[in-house]
Amino acid sequence: MKTQIQLILLFAFLSTSLGAQMPLFPTPAKTMQGKGSFVVGNNLSIEAQGDAQKIADQFSQNLKEMHLSDAASSGTVHFKLNKEKAMAPEAYSLQITSSAIQAEASSISGLFYAKEALLQLIRFNKGSLNACRIEDQPRYGWRGFMLDESRHFFGKEKVKQYLDIMASLRMNIFHWHLTDEPGWRIEIKRYPKLTTVGGIGNWHDPKAPATYYTQEDIKEIVAYAAERQITVIPEFDMPGHATAVCRAYPEVSGGGEGRWQHFTFHPCKEETYEFISHVLDEIITLFPSPYIHIGGDEVHYGNQSWFTDPEIQQFIQEKKLVNEVGLEHYFIRRIADMVASKGKTIIGWDEIVDAGVSPSKAVVMWWRHDRQYQLVKALEQGFRVIMTPRRPLYGDFVQYGGHAVGRLWNGYNPIEDIYRFPDNVIHLMKNYEDQIMGMQMSMWTERIADPKRLDFMVFPRLVAVAESAWTLPKAKESSLFMKKLPRFLEFLDTKGIYYFNPFAPDMRPEPTSPEKEDLLQNG
Ligand code: TNX
């Protein structure tokens, strides 16, 4: 009996460690070794039926962009979409023998991930694949990356490059932070000044020429993402962080002075709500996602005029909102209803937990790592939650003690901490697992002005985010992940990405930001 248990444990360990050692990012749930190997080289035949053909076509296109060996291929790759099989959402299997490869899933997204896993094996093994069977499924349905292009604008080509890498890492959400203080970045036909005026400037240069995405650009990115099974979630931040809008259309501004002038919308004017409704109509037409992120964070930073504006004070009294916080919550409830009436659901930063919105109308993004009770409160109230706590999931935090630019908060965000997440908060989610949609890395760009520094802050930490979001806990093993990570770094080299190398942290100069603002502590 004892030896049997020992044997079972040994096999369990071997299958986990085999999966963890194969050059797959993220590590799959289950891997079993077979006999022999399959060569992907010349004249590979690829077969598929029905809807699976789309994935097979993508695969043959992807192979054309790779440098394969001249050796003859061993046989056929079959892509099979088996809708009756009822596998877990996004799950797939990959069977490699010496004569055939079969990729199978019961959803298109699952089949897409089988294809991506296969491409990684071909790439990292130079076309010679050991026979094996992989059965894989994600831990979370929300595996996201957020990019702030208001503070600094990076443009279409960078976004597409990141979408490619995200797809390879089986990440499925691109949260696009397109509006904030320095700049508005989406063309809205009804309000052209949003881009001609609101698009001017960035975090370090308020006079920088207008940069933004046209509606055609947005459609192109959304379609590009969809082909890679990625949903794009737009963020229109309100009632705070609205400076760029209010600069362009002062009639909807909530006032303010100096550094905080125009930071908020005017929360009482009907005109404000009409304006927001019209903007949302265009945003909703551009983004097919079921969710619209409406921000909702840090209103108190710049709502000083709310305390003195007689119109606002009278409104608080009339509507019995008690105070300015009550007014903020009124605003959020109205926007949640407005978005719901347009057939979409809001996502908001964790401040919205206190706004009295029905959990059926909102999803919460937990970001304040120092307020774990906000996560607990959201779950207790029945909200669905996406986790992106500053520590360890904000990409603008330092990743190595020797770095001179970036954020700190009683420490920083090394790749190992990301890999371990969400272990440190898992006890808080007990009995609420179904409400946890997943997690994302959020890349704020106040101190990231160019693509080189952006790459350096994103990579390789994004690989750990992908694994934390995808890989089931029983298949995760930090030391094995770090052991295989250099293969991914080589892949980043081929893409010309300037990443931080955690194995040789002092080798490459850290790209700095124009302000050289150094380390920002707690706040
Ligand atoms: C907090 S996260 C913010 C952002 C900043 C970020 C910098 C959130 C909801 N608000 O506006 O860019 O910190 O780390």
Atom 12 of ligand 1: nearest residue by CA position: 444
Q: Residue 46: enclosing H or E segment and its boundaries?
A: strand 45-48
On whether residue 130 sits in a domain, the answer given is yes
> Stretch 489-510: mean pLDDT, rounded?
96
Amino acid identity, residue 336?
A
CATH (domain of 104): 3.30.379.10
What per-residue confidence (pLDDT) applies to 6?
57
**Count of other CB atoms within 10 angstroms of residue 102:** 17
53 in the same domain as 114 = yes
What letter does residue 51 receive in the DSSP assignment?
Answer: T
Vertex 465 angle, CA 505 and 442, to 5°? 90
- Contact by Cβ (8 Å): 449, 201: no
Same domain, 213 and 272: yes
* Sign of the C-alpha dihedral computed for residues 406, 408, 414 and 420 taken in this order: negative
The separation between the first and the last C-alpha atoms of the chain, rounded to the nearest angstrom, is: 57
Catalytic residue from among 180, 417, 477, 510 = 180
Token pair listed for 323: 């105070």
CB 238 within 8 A of CB 328: no
Q: Chain-wide mean pLDDT for the chain?
A: 95
Task: Output Rg (C-alpha) for the chain, integer angstroms.
Answer: 24
> With bands split at pLDDT 50, 70 and 90, how would you rate the model's confidence at 69?
confident
Q: Mean pLDDT across the stretch 129-140?
A: 98
Report how far residue 463's alpha carbon sits from residue 469's, in angstroms, rounded to the nearest whole number. 10
Least confident range from 21-25, 212-216, 365-369: namely 21-25
Q: What is the pLDDT of residue 14?
A: 52
Tens of pLDDT, residues 153-191: 999 999 999 999 999 999 999 999 999 999 999 999 999
Report yes or no: 387 and 393 within 8 Å, Cβ to Cβ.
yes
Amino acid identity, position 471 = T
Average pLDDT estimate for 207-211 = 98
Report pLDDT for 67.
Answer: 84
SS3 458: helix
**462: domain CATH number?**
3.20.20.80
- Looking at residue 3, its pLDDT comes to 58
Q: Which atom of ligand 1 is nearest to the CA of 397?
A: 14
Note if 298 is an active site residue. Answer: yes
Closest by Cα among 396, 198, 177 to 293:
177
Ligand 1, residues 297, 350, 353, 370: which to mutate, most atoms within 8 A of Cβ?
Answer: 297
Same domain for 241 and 116: no
User: What number of CA atoms fall less than 13 Å from residue 277's CA on the CB side?
Assistant: 14
- Please choose, from the candidates 406, 256, 401, 272, the residue with its C-alpha nearest in 3D space to the C-alpha of residue 331: 272
Evaluate: CB of 444 within 6 angstroms of ligand 1.
yes
Give me the sheet containing 100-105, strands edge to edge.
Answer: 30-39, 128-136, 92-96, 100-105, 76-81, 45-48
Torsion (CA) 71, 73, 74, 80 in degrees, nearest 10: 160
pLDDT at 30: 96
d(CA 417, CA 432): 23
**In the chain, what percentage of residues exceed pLDDT 90?**
91
Specify the pLDDT at position 122. 97
Name which of 413, 407, 433, 440 is nearest 172 in CA terms: 440
Q: Residue 17: what pLDDT?
A: 66
For residue 45, give the DSSP letter.
Answer: E
φ and ψ of 297, to 5 deg: -95, 155
CA distances 140 to 116, 385, 387, 434, 481, Å, are 18, 11, 11, 10, 19
Q: Is the pLDDT of residue 149 over 60?
A: yes
Nearest to 369 by CA among 402, 404, 408, 333: 408
> Does residue 230 belong to any structural domain of this protein?
yes
Q: Using CA positions, which residue lies closest to atom 8 of ligand 1?
A: 297
216 in the same domain as 294: yes
203 lines ligand 1 (CB under 6 A): no
Helix 156-168 and helix 461-470: axis angle, to 10°? 50
Q: Which two tokens stand for residue 518?
A: 């150094």
481: pLDDT strictly greater than 60: yes
Residue 434 burial (CB count, 10 A)? 8
Pair type for strands 291-295 and 345-349: parallel
How far is it, in rounded angstroms, from Cα 155 to Cα 459? 18
Residue 448 confidence (pLDDT) above 60? yes
Active-site residue identified among 164, 298, 337, 354 = 298
Grade residue 20 by pLDDT with cuts at 50, 70 and 90: confident
Q: Residue 15 — very low, low, confident or very high, per pLDDT cuts 50/70/90?
A: low
Predicted confidence band of residue 8 (pLDDT cuts 50, 70, 90): low
Residues 183, 85 within the same domain: no
Assess whether 59 and 106 both reside in one domain.
yes
Which of 136, 156, 190 finishes a domain?
136
Count structural domains, the chain: 2
* Paired strand residues for 47: 78
User: At which of 93, 108, 136 does a domain end?
Assistant: 136
Let me know whether 121 and 269 are in one domain.
Answer: no
Helices (H), 22-43: none
What is the Cα–Cα distance from 357 to 384, expressed in whole angstroms? 12
Q: Which of 123, 43, 52, 105 is nearest to 75 (CA)?
A: 43
The answer to whether residue 141 is domain-embedded is no
One domain for residues 27 and 159: no
Q: Are residues 115 and 161 in the same domain?
A: no
Q: How far is the CA of 395 from the centre of ligand 1 (A)?
A: 11
Report the 3 state secondary structure along 330-342: HHHHHHHHHHHHC
Preceding amide of 239 cis, omega within 30: yes
Query: Looking at residue 486, what is its pLDDT?
Result: 97
What are the residues facing 79 on neighbouring strands? 48, 103
pLDDT tens digit sequence for 257-298: 888 999 999 999 999 999 999 999 999 999 999 999 999 999
Write out the two tokens for 224. 């590009």
Measuring from atom 2 of ligand 1, which residue has the nearest CA?
A: 367
Domain boundary among the residues 85, 116, 136 is at 136
Within a domain: 155: yes
pLDDT class of 523 with cuts at 50, 70, 90: low
State how far the alpha carbon of 162 is from the alpha carbons of 31, 158, 171, 172, 469, in Å. 28, 6, 11, 12, 17
Hey, which bits of 120-230 come out as E strands?
128-136, 142-148, 173-177
Judged against a pLDDT cut of 70, whether residue 225 lies above it is answered with yes
Two tokens, residue 348: 């908001």
How crowded is residue 33: how many other Cβ atoms within 10 Å of its Cβ?
12
What is the pLDDT at residue 349? Answer: 98
Residue nearest to atom 6 of ligand 1 (CA): 444
pLDDT digits (tens, 9 = 90+) for 397-422: 999 999 999 999 999 999 999 999 99
Higher pLDDT, 20 or 183: 183
- Quick one: average pLDDT of 104-110? 98
> 396 CB under 6 A from ligand 1?
yes
Q: Is 349 in the pocket of ligand 1 (CB under 6 A)?
A: yes
Please state the pTM of the whole predicted model: 0.96
pLDDT at 21: 78
Q: Which 8-state DSSP code applies to residue 394?
A: B
**41 lies in some domain:** yes
Q: Which domain holds residue 161?
A: 146-522
Q: What is the pLDDT of residue 41?
A: 94
205 and 129 fall within a common domain:
no
Instruction: Assess whether 60 and 176 both reside in one domain.
Output: no
